[in-house]
Chains A and B, each alone.
Chain A
């Protein structure tokens, strides 16, 4: 009779077990995408805007998406790029905020900490050659100081008084340089809204993956406020004079 053989579970090699999950896969391109985020510092804090569109390739697939979100009480997060990767990060942040809440010790996770944490997540994923296909803009007020930072799928980070992602980097950034930089402590809320809308209008005219329905958000000493979606007025009169466009 054969002797009875005992084996510890972890010493048993089952090649089928790993094959079951299929080959290792990576995100090689974004699928459902959000376009530009525009953000800058103004007198009372940070102002940010993004439209409500999530495109599926060139198809305007989801027309009521939220691409601006509050993280805790003093931090605002804007996202462009792959929407499912963003939802994954949302999940992670939700876990982090729940942990902080459970500590129940009056300590707050400040904007700089949120920024550092997201930057680490992004760099960690790119180091596994499995990046989250996004550019994030993180703004807020940390210890009474305005903060605005950027991080992308390579884990590249920088901080600036004006930040725009994607197409906005080409179309909105020159406007922000001209109208905001050097004046960030003077710009009133009214002017800030006006600058933001100018940027978003230019983007809507020229960026084929954008929508004229957008949300605005601000962080001030009072906290984070994300607006309801609203439409920008546009003027297409010029199209009349373009052959094959207007008529």
Chain B
């Protein structure tokens, strides 16, 4: 039987220059339901599809508020995301207490990036099994970052992670140049449109499975769930009707 000698822990290299445990962790991200993030010159938006394990269960939370100026969306192991969001929340609080200023988004993301990197270099640890899209607004404007288990952190105009997220990225790549001057409402609808492309055949976005988060120059971090998403889902359908006319 095939056995890989180089994947027993996250600190061992393969002769081809790969770290298998980190690659496996990245697979965990691809199993989580998709999240999409995108930004304009003033606002930045997250949209996500929530899953429920069965008919009787509630839908798993995908977007979390970190502070008035920052939020995250997760794909992968939710429990790992909770550890990271707790850490981010306490860092954001510390920044407010000590310096009286909102934690700069880039610094927040690099700090969890460093934590993830440590997990790939110290014996006896495992990588986080979660990917995050981090949005925030600070003195340098709106930001969208991707965090992944390898510890690599990148900034984007628009991005998506999670199951079938390539379809959303294809959509974003086609449209991202229009995002810059878009008002918030339209930006959300654009996000939902990209998100819809990740759904399986026969599945639809509805008030139960859709989650919307945004923050911007004039908007504190806000998360919309349930009935609050209806208005945007309606806009999504309206846009569709106009295009076919």
Contacting residues, chain B, for A103 (C-beta < 8 A): 107
Determine whether the beta carbon of B138 is less than 8 Å from that of A113: no
Chain B binding site: helix, strand, loop or mixed by DSSP? mixed
* Stretch in B96-104, B182-190, B214-222 touching the partner: B96-104
Interface size on A, residues (CB 8 A): 13
> Is residue A112 within 8 Å, beta carbon to beta carbon, of the partner chain?
yes
Interface string of A94-118 (1 = CB under 8 A from B): 0000000001011111101101110
How far apart are B111's CB and chain A's nearest CB, in angstroms?
Answer: 11
How far apart are B85's CB and chain A's nearest CB, in angstroms?
Answer: 22
How far apart are A209's CB and chain B's nearest CB, in angstroms?
Answer: 34
> How far does the alpha carbon of A106 sit from the alpha carbon of B98 in the complex, in Å?
20
Contacting residues, chain A, for B138 (C-beta < 8 A): 107
Given contacts A103-B107, A105-B106, A105-B107, contact A110 B98 (CB under 8 A): no
Closest to A106 in B: B140
Interface string of B91-124 (1 = CB under 8 A from A): 0000001111100101100000000000000000
> Is residue A120 within 8 Å, beta carbon to beta carbon, of the partner chain?
yes
Closest to A117 in B: B99
CB within 8 Å of B: which of A92-144?
103, 105-110, 112-113, 115-117, 120
Determine whether the beta carbon of B100 is less than 8 Å from that of A107: no
> How far does the alpha carbon of A106 sit from the alpha carbon of B100 in the complex, in Å?
18
- Tally of A-B Cβ pairs under 8 angstroms: 29
> Is residue B245 within 8 Å, beta carbon to beta carbon, of the partner chain?
no
> Is residue B243 within 8 Å, beta carbon to beta carbon, of the partner chain?
no
> Is residue B139 within 8 Å, beta carbon to beta carbon, of the partner chain?
yes
Determine whether the beta carbon of B101 is less than 8 Å from that of A113: yes
> How far does the alpha carbon of A117 sit from the alpha carbon of B98 in the complex, in Å?
6
Interface range for B:
10 to 19
Contacting residues, chain A, for B139 (C-beta < 8 A): 107-108
Most chain A CB neighbours (cut-off 10 Å) among B101, B104, B107, B138 = B101
Given contacts A106-B140, A107-B138, A107-B140, contact A116 B98 (CB under 8 A): yes
Closest to B139 in A: A107
Given contacts A106-B140, A107-B139, A107-B140, contact A112 B100 (CB under 8 A): yes
Determine whether the beta carbon of A112 is less than 8 Å from that of B107: no
Given contacts A106-B140, A107-B138, A107-B140, contact A120 B107 (CB under 8 A): no
Closest to B95 in A: A113
Contacting residues, chain B, for A117 (C-beta < 8 A): 98-99
How far apart are B140's CB and chain A's nearest CB, in angstroms?
Answer: 6
How far apart are B239's CB and chain A's nearest CB, in angstroms?
Answer: 37
Closest to A119 in B: B100
> How far does the alpha carbon of A235 sit from the alpha carbon of B4 in the complex, in Å?
92
Determine whether the beta carbon of A110 is less than 8 Å from that of B106: no
> How far does the alpha carbon of A109 sit from the alpha carbon of B100 in the complex, in Å?
10
Determine whether the beta carbon of A112 is less than 8 Å from that of B98: no
Closest to A107 in B: B104
Q: Which of B100, B104, B106, B140 touches A116 (beta carbons < 8 Å)?
A: B100
Closest to A109 in B: B99
How far apart are B79's CB and chain A's nearest CB, in angstroms?
Answer: 30
Determine whether the beta carbon of B99 is less than 8 Å from that of A113: yes
Closest to B96 in A: A116
Determine whether the beta carbon of B98 is less than 8 Å from that of A107: no
Determine whether the beta carbon of B100 is less than 8 Å from that of A113: yes
Given contacts A107-B139, A107-B140, contact A120 B98 (CB under 8 A): yes
Most chain A CB neighbours (cut-off 10 Å) among B99, B106, B140 = B99
> How far does the alpha carbon of A106 sit from the alpha carbon of B99 in the complex, in Å?
17
> How far does the alpha carbon of A234 sit from the alpha carbon of B22 in the complex, in Å?
75
CB within 8 Å of B: which of A63-113?
103, 105-110, 112-113
Interface string of A197-216 (1 = CB under 8 A from B): 00000000000000000000
Closest to B97 in A: A120
Contacting residues, chain A, for B140 (C-beta < 8 A): 105-107
Interface residues of A (CB under 8 A from B): 103, 105-110, 112-113, 115-117, 120
Question: Which 6 pairs, one residue from A and one from B, show the smallest C-beta to C-beta distance?
Answer: A116-B100, A113-B99, A107-B104, A113-B101, A105-B106, A116-B99
17 contacts between A and B (CB under 8 A): A105-B104, A105-B106, A107-B104, A107-B106, A107-B138, A107-B139, A107-B140, A108-B139, A109-B99, A110-B101, A113-B99, A116-B98, A116-B99, A116-B100, A116-B101, A120-B97, A120-B98
